[in-house]
Amino acid sequence: MTLNTLKRTVFTVLFLSVFSFGFAEGSKEGGEDKEFDAKEMILHHVKDAYGMHLFDWNDHPISIPLPVITYTDKGLTMFSSSAFHHDYHGHEIVERNGQKFVNVHEKVYVLDEGASSVEFDAEDHPTNAHRPTFDISITRNVFMMWVSIAVLFLIFLTAARRYKKSEDNVPSGIASFVEPLVLFVRDEIAKPMIGEHKYRRYMPYLLTIFFFIWINNIFGLIPILNGANLSGNIAFTFTLAAITFIITTFSGNKNYWQHIFWMPGVPVPMKIFLMPIEIIGMFVKPISLMIRLFANITAGHVIILALMSLIFVFKTVAIAPVSVAFSLFITVIEVIVTAIQAYIFTILSALYFGMATEEAHH
Amino acid sequence: MDLITPEFGLVFWTLITFLILLFILRKFAWKPILGAVSDREEGIKDALASAEKARQEMENLTADNERILKEARAERETMLKEARDLKAKLIADAKEEAQAQANKLIEQAQTAIESEKKAAMAELKNHVAGLSIDIAEKVVRDELSNKDKQLKLVENMLGETTLN
C-alpha cells in the first residue's frame, strides 16, 4: 500500500462526504511511504492522466483504462493505459511495436534505442527517453470531454425534439429548462455585444462554447470523476480561444482592420504609435481568454486540494473539519464560478465578434 | 511549466470534438430551438399587433358611435326646435286668422245691425209719421169742427208764416 493510493482514497471520500474520516484514518497506517508532497499531489490531480482513476478498493486503485495512442517514426502505436499498472514513475516498461513506453508523471516517453530503464536527471526529467512525435492518447480529459458532449447531445437534442413535437412551439419538459439559458445567451450576450442585425450568425458558436465550457466546469467539480480538470487545462482553453480568434479575424470588416492598422480620427504619429499596440491587442484578447478560464478553474481545484492536503501536511485528522468546512465553502463558490467563467468566456467572445463586425459610426 | 504548456493531444481532440459538437448542435439543436423560439416570438408579436389593431378598430367604432349619437341628438334637437317653431307659427297664424275672421264677422254683424237699425228706424219713422198723421187728422178734424177755431188756426198759421 502506498500513500498515493491512500491519498486518492481520502480525497475521493472527503470530497463525497464528511463522515468518512474514520475510514481515511483507519487506512492511514501506511508505514514506509515517503514524505507527503502536497504540490506533487495537487499537480497530479489538476493535470491530465492516461487512466481515469475512480477510487481505491481494498488498497487497489480502480480506474477506467483508456487507450494510449502515439505516433512515432515507427508509426502509430496504441495500447491500453492499464498496461502501465497505475505506475507513473517510469518503472513499468510497456513494449509495443518494437518500442519501449514508460509513463513519467502521466506523460508517455519512448525509451531510446538500447535503453532498458529510464534514467532521470537532477530535475526528474528522463535523460534517455523522448516524447513521441504525436501523443493523441484518449486521456481522462478527452474521455470526460466525450462524456460531456454526450450529455450535451442528450440534453439539447431532446430539448429540440420537444419543440418539434409540440404544435405551438411551447417548451415542455427539458426544453423549458433549456430555453431560458438559450434565451439568456441570445438576449444578454449575443444581442447586446454583437448587435441586433448580425448576432444570428454567431449564435451557434456562442451557445456551443457556453454550454461546453459550463458543463466541463461542472464535471471538474464532481468528486467521483476525480477532478478531470478539462476546462482547467490550458490545451482546452487554448483551443477554444484560438477558435474565437480565428472567427474574430475572419469576420473582421474594413472598419475593424482600419482601427488596427490606421486608427481613424487621430494624428499620423499617433496612428503609427497605435498600430503595434493594436496588433498586440489582437492577440492579447484571445490569450487573455485562454489564461482566464484556465487560471480560474485550476485555481479553484488547487485551493480545494490544498485545503484537503492540510490534513496530511499536519498529519492529524483534527484539522479535517476545518479542511472540509473550507473546501465546502470553496466548492460552493466554485459552483458559481463554473457558470460565471462560461459566461465570461462567451460574452468576451461575443464582444470580440461585435468589435470585428462593428460598422463605422463617425 | 508543464501546467501551462498546451499538449498537442488534448488540443487535437478538443478541436475535433468541439467541431463535431458545434456541427451537430447547430444543425439538430440550436436551429430548431432558436427557430421555435423566434417563431413563437413572431406569433406573439403578431397576436399583439392584431390585438392592438382590433382595439384601435374598436376605438374607432366607439368614436363613430359617439359621433353618430351626437349627430342624432343634434338632429333631434333641431327637429324639436323646428317643430316648436312650427307649432308657435301655426298657433300664431291660427290666432291671426281667427282674429281676422272674428273681425270680419263683427264687421258683418255691425253692418247687419246698422242696416237693421236703419230699416227699423225707417219703419219707426214711417209708423211715427202715420201715427202723427192719424193724430193730426184727429186733432185737425177736432179743431175744424167749429168755425171760430178754424179761423183762429188760419190766423195763427198766417201769423207764423211770414210772407217773404
> pLDDT tens-digit profile of A47-89?
888 888 887 788 788 888 889 999 988 888 888 888 888 888 8
The values of phi and psi at residue A259, to 5°, are -65, -25
Give the span between the Cα atoms of A58 and A253, in whole angstroms. 62
Quick: pLDDT tens for A338-349.
Answer: 999 999 999 999
Chain A residues lying within 8 Å of B13, measured CB to CB: 136, 138, 142, 145
> How many other CB atoms sit within 10 Å of the CB of residue A153?
16
Contact criterion met (CB < 8 Å) for B13 and A145: yes
Helix axes A320-357, A254-261, angle to 10 degrees: 110
> How many angstroms away from the CA of A157 is the closest CA of chain B?
5
Contacts of A168 in chain B (CB under 8 A): 40, 43
Cβ contact (<8 Å) for A204 and B17? no
Q: How far apart are CA A309 and CA A241, in angstroms?
A: 32
ipTM score here?
Answer: 0.85
According to DSSP, the residues that pair with A110 across neighbouring strands are: A101, A130
Of B3, B18, B43, the CB nearest to A43: B3
Q: Which of B1, B5, B18, B26 to mutate to test the interface with A (most CBs of A within 10 A)?
A: B18
Cα angle at A345 between A277 and A200, to 5 degrees? 95
DSSP string of A69-131?
EEEETTEEEEEEGGGGTT--BS-S-EEETTEEEEEBSS-EEEEPTT--S--B-TTS-BSSEE-
- pTM value is 0.75
Distance (Å) of CA A331 to CA A12, B37, B140: 14, 35, 173
Residue whose cell numbers read 508509426: A75
Q: What is the pLDDT, as a whole number, of residue A3?
A: 56
Chain A residues in contact with B40 (beta carbon < 8 A) = 168-170
- Mutate which: A234, A297, A301, vs B, most B CBs within 10 A: A234
Give the model's pLDDT for residue B139.
78
- The SS3 call for residue A56 is strand
Distance of CA A346 to the CA centre of its chain: 16
B30 interface with A at CB cutoff 8 Å: yes
Three-class secondary structure assignment of A179-206: HHHHHHHHHHHHHHHHCCCCHHHHHHHH
B98 Cβ under 8 Å from any chain A Cβ: no
A71 CB-near residues (< 8 Å, 6+ apart):
A77, A132, A133, A134, A135, A136
Q: What integer pLDDT is reported at residue B14 of this predicted model?
A: 94
User: How many CB atoms lie under 10 A from the CB of residue B97?
Assistant: 10
Q: Is there a contact between A294 and B5 if contact means CB atoms under 8 Å apart? A: no
For A109, counting Cβ atoms within 10 Å of its Cβ (0-12 exposed, 13-18 middle, 19+ buried), the class is: buried
Min Cα–Cα distance to chain B from A237, Å: 9
**Distance between A276 CA and the closest CA of chain B, angstroms:** 26
Residues of chain B contacting A182 with CB distance shorter than 8 Å = 30, 33-34, 37
List CB contacts (< 8 A) between A158 and chain B.
none
The x, y and z cell numbers of residue A268, run together, are 499620423
- What's the pLDDT score for residue A11? 56
Top residue of B5, B21, B26, B42 to mutate, by most chain A CBs within 10 Å, is: B21
Q: Which residue among A46, A134, A182 sits closest to B8, beta carbon to beta carbon?
A: A134
Per-residue confidence of chain A (362 residues) as pLDDT tens digits? 455 565 666 555 555 443 333 333 333 334 445 677 888 888 888 888 888 888 778 878 888 888 999 998 888 888 888 888 888 888 888 888 888 888 888 888 888 877 778 888 877 788 888 888 899 999 889 999 999 999 999 999 999 888 888 877 778 888 889 999 999 999 999 999 998 888 999 999 999 999 999 999 999 888 776 657 888 899 999 999 999 999 999 999 888 998 888 888 888 999 999 999 999 999 999 999 999 999 999 998 899 889 988 888 888 888 889 999 998 999 899 999 999 999 999 999 999 999 999 887 65
Res A113: pLDDT? 79
Provide the 8-state DSSP code for B2.
G
pLDDT at A64: 85
Per-residue pLDDT, A318: 86
- B43 contacts A239? CB cut-off 8 A: no
Q: Which residues of B touch A205 (CB under 8 A)?
A: 22
Cβ contact B37–A146 (<8 Å): no
**Residue A348 and residue A95: Cα distance in Å, rounded?**
47
Say which of A136, A149, A179 has its CB closest to residue B9. A136
pLDDT, one tens digit per residue, over B99-137 is 999 999 999 999 999 898 888 888 888 888 888 888 888
Which candidate, A232, A252, A255, A233, places its Cα nearest to that of A244? A252
- A299-335: b (≥16 Cβ within 10 Å) or e: ebbbbbbbbbbbbbeeeeeeebeebbebbeebbeebe
3-state secondary structure at position A262: coil
Low-confidence ranges of chain B (pLDDT < 70): 1, 143, 163-164
